[in-house]
Structure 1
Amino acid sequence: MGQSWGRTPHESGSGKTQGRSKAVYGVDNEYSVETFPPIEVPDEILYEVLKWVPAEDIVKSCVYVCKQWRDVINIQMFWKEKCIHELGYTNEIFHFLVDEDFKKLYFKRPYQNNLIKNPDAREGFSHWKIHDNGGDKWRVDTAAGCNPIEDYTGNKLAKRTLCWVTSYAECSKSQTIDLLEKGCSEHVLDDVRPEIHVSEWYAARPDCGIKYRITVQLLRNKEAKIAVKEWTFEDTKPAGSDWFKAEHTFSNYEPGVRFIRYYHEGKDIKFWSGWYGAKMTLSSVILDLKHTSSKASSEGSSKAS
């Protein structure tokens, strides 16, 4: 049976108890002198209730209530269901997740989630390594002069998105993602090898053209000079107010990928003082198990037929 809990029993008619209640709560508590029987809650019911509690409250408060609550919360299936209900994980996705720590999976969220930190300049240059700071250097901008980016992304949440803007000489920076630190398992990286979607939005200004370049590398180790796979895209745009999306999907790459290096650079084409170079924002790297699972299912069906 489940753990018992309830209000602390009081002796009926205890003036001392009523006085203490008034001192604590500021009013007389008519129930403070009543005795309540302990309540026993089966684990199954407690499980169903707790799985709807916000995860932050679970790990900061609920787990410390009593041993029963802690034991229920530490069940792997409890966190698996949180992944299903809140992260949209399907049974097809779980087919690839062998011996996963589902609590770690829930909080780390390494799949179906953007792994780039500070993807839209809201935190300035935090989490990015600046390589070149040419001209008047990098700058965080409000994308003034460009069309609203939400008109291109279809996402109203992109409204008032900030961006980085480059100057008249080359400005470049990068971010390296440690996939194991992010919560990915070696099994998924080496055996499943989910498709990896990378993308970014970039734009010029209405009064000056730009040069833009992005390179994304899949690496075996952080200092690797030779990538398992690499994608580079570069573009020169005339003056204008439109946003453009650079995007690529890595698939069928070799096992052993542990890091992803995301690099971009830009400048203007008129060598004007100030910040007339390429604007960039909404950088993204997503390991896509949903698409991988769908692809695996269709291939399995084809072989069966």
Structure 2
Amino acid sequence: MSGTDWRKCCQDEWVLQGMAMPQNLDWKCVYEAKPFGRNLLKNPSPHGLSKAIPPPEHELPEFPMDGPPIAQPDGDYSGWSTSTEVLPDDRSGIPKGAVICGLPQYTWFTLEQTVDLNAEGLWGEMLDDFQPQIVIQDWYEESQVHESIYQLHVKLLGADQSTVISEHSVNPTEDLSAYSHKWKEVSHVFSGYGPGVRYIHFLHRMKNKFLNGFFPTMFTGSSVMVNPIKSSA
């Protein structure tokens, strides 16, 4: 097929009326990249878990674990940049003079990755003028680890990867008064964000606890998707 034919295939399949579709693009590559309606994040579930199945229960071991504290759960983190922050001991609420046998060690485990929108088949004129909806979704494990166990920070970046055009942050507080253990959804739709977006930086943090045993906070189903729907301001 000719470039014009591939361009028409893209226009017909994604119903792109009103979207700038320049003649000089390799429309065959764009069509094969399938830039719309698919998850642009790599390795969205590194723990091998699915939101369709409840998260596994974590049981206190019969005997305290040997060795140094564990800071992050096992997983295949290919595609992610990771880092760990060990938090200082929280001694609030401990009566003066009390004998302390042990305190939990908390850590933030951070995972992040950057999506190159041009490399994923999205072109500049479409991103600048049409400004399609950018949909973010994530699922984290509700637990009794701490009242703050999850944070999400997503930024829409310019071509220099440092200019922030739009951003969204989530920092929920958990209700520890009653036990509940399920996947909790976090989502956001970027719309009317303005011209210049070329990259998306996705970062989330999970809090883990170590005391005799290791109690992680898991996540699954992280996604960044671009929909062929024109944004509104």
Q: TM-score range by the shorter chain?
A: 0.5 to 0.7
Letter aligned with residue 101 of structure 1: D
Change (3 A) 1:101 1:230: same
Structure 1 counterpart of 2:185, from 221, 245, 249? 245
Deviation readout 1:102-145 (Å, 9 max, x if unpaired): 3112221212221111111158111111132659xxxxxxxxxx
Structure 1 counterpart of 2:122, from 184, 191, 202? 184
| 1:172 and 2:110 are equivalent in the alignment | yes
| 1:264 and 2:192 are equivalent in the alignment | no
TM-score normalised per structure 1: 0.53
- The structural deviation recorded for 1:278 is 2.1
SS at structure 1 position matched to 2:171: strand
- The structural deviation recorded for 1:271 is 4.6
Give 1:229's aligned residue.
166
Deviates more, 1:273-282 or 1:109-118: 273-282
Deviation readout 1:136-192 (Å, 9 max, x if unpaired): xxxxxxxxxxxxxxxxxxxxxxxxxxxxxxx93111010001111111100111111
SS at structure 2 position matched to 1:236: coil
Give 1:115's aligned residue.
40
Q: Distance in 2 between matches of 1:79 and 1:98?
A: 8
Give 1:130's aligned residue.
82
Change (3 A) 1:277 1:221: farther
| 1:286 and 2:209 are equivalent in the alignment | no
| 1:198 and 2:136 are equivalent in the alignment | yes
| 1:218 and 2:143 are equivalent in the alignment | no
Deviation readout 1:60-87 (Å, 9 max, x if unpaired): xxxxxxxxxxxxx455425754885xxx
Q: Distance in 2 between matches of 1:274 and 1:106?
A: 50
Unaligned runs of 5+ in 1: 1-72, 136-166, 297-305
Aligned sequence identity (%): 27
Higher helix share: 1
Given that 1:213 and 1:233 are in contact with CA atoms closer than 8 Å, whether structure 2 keeps it comes out as yes
Q: Compute the RMSD of aligned alpha carbons.
A: 2.9
Change (3 A) 1:134 1:103: farther
Change (3 A) 1:126 1:83: farther
TM-score normalised per structure 2: 0.68
Change (3 A) 1:177 1:193: same
Q: Following superposition, which runs of at least 4 residues in structure 1 exceed 4 angstroms of deviation?
A: 73-76
Residue-pair matches, total: 183
- The structural deviation recorded for 1:286 is 0.9
Given that 1:175 and 1:263 are in contact with CA atoms closer than 8 Å, whether structure 2 keeps it comes out as yes
Q: Distance in 2 between matches of 1:194 and 1:82?
A: 15
Unaligned runs of 5+ in 2: 49-74, 88-104
SS at structure 2 position matched to 1:188: helix
Change (3 A) 1:79 1:189: closer
Higher strand share: 2
Q: Distance in 1 between matches of 2:205 and 2:157?
A: 20
SS at structure 1 position matched to 2:127: helix
Letter aligned with residue 283 of structure 1: S
- The structural deviation recorded for 1:223 is 4.0
Give 1:300's aligned residue.
none
Given that 1:203 and 1:241 are in contact with CA atoms closer than 8 Å, whether structure 2 keeps it comes out as yes
* Largest Rg, 1 or 2: 1
SS at structure 2 position matched to 1:124: coil
Q: Distance in 1 between matches of 2:212 and 2:125?
A: 50
Change (3 A) 1:221 1:102: closer
Q: Give runs of aligned pairs for residues 4-19 of structure 1, distance below 5 A.
A: none
